[in-house]
């Protein structure tokens, strides 16, 4: 397993480790080959979790131009959280079937959703975590 490297400074390593641990526990929640997870984190606490799902859609997904019958983890996590998103971060983690981290940079539609909600985004890559944009 690769070790995590921090990019962008002001991120608590503990919360990233916690999210990674949770994502690995939920690896079978998603039937896709690549398992996408999104964690909404507020004050270093996980307040919402999302994962990619097939054969489902959501009004937000339609609004943001997702054409296929699936829900991205970002939409799942954001729509599950009913409170103010200010002061929140979104942490994206993508795993392969063996639990190795892969690049989970948001797609163009989720990028817009993240920007509209003014969320800070951190996403996994094969060699650690990166800050979005």
CB 35 within 8 A of CB 101: no
Alpha helices, H only, the chain: 13-25, 59-63, 73-80, 108-116
Shortest distance, CB of residue 52 to Zn ion, whole angstroms? 8
Q: Nearest distance from residue 126's CB to Zn ion, in Å?
A: 19
**By CB under 5 A, is residue 119 in contact with Zn ion?**
no
Q: Kindly report the number of other CB atoms within 10 A of residue 119's CB atom.
A: 24
- Is the Cβ of residue 6 or residue 125 nearer to Zn ion in the bound state? 125
72 binds Zn ion (CB under 5 A): yes
Residue among 80, 82, 57 nearest 67 (CA):
57
Q: Name the β-bridge partners of 101.
A: 95
> Using the rule CB under 5 A, which residue among 91, 110, 119, 122 binds Zn ion?
110
Q: Which residue, 16 or 52, has its beta carbon nearer to Zn ion? A: 52
The residues of the shown chain that bind Zn ion, judged by CB under 5 A, are 72, 107, 110
């Amino acid at each position: 397993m690769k070790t995590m490297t921090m990019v962008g400074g002001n991120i608590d390593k503990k919360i990233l480790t916690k999210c990674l641990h949770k994502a690995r526990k939920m690896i079978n929640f998603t039937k896709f080959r690549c398992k996408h997870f999104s964690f909404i984190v507020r004050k270093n606490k996980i307040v919402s979790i999302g994962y990619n799902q097939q054969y489902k859609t959501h009004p937000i997904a339609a609004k943001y131009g997702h054409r296929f019958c699936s829900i991205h983890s970002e939409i799942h996590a954001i729509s599950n959280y009913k409170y103010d998103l200010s002061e929140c971060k979104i942490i994206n983690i993508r795993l392969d079937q063996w639990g190795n981290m892969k690049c989970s940079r948001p797609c163009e539609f989720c990028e817009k959703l993240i920007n509209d909600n003014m969320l800070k985004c951190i996403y996994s890559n094969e060699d650690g975590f990166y800050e979005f944009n």
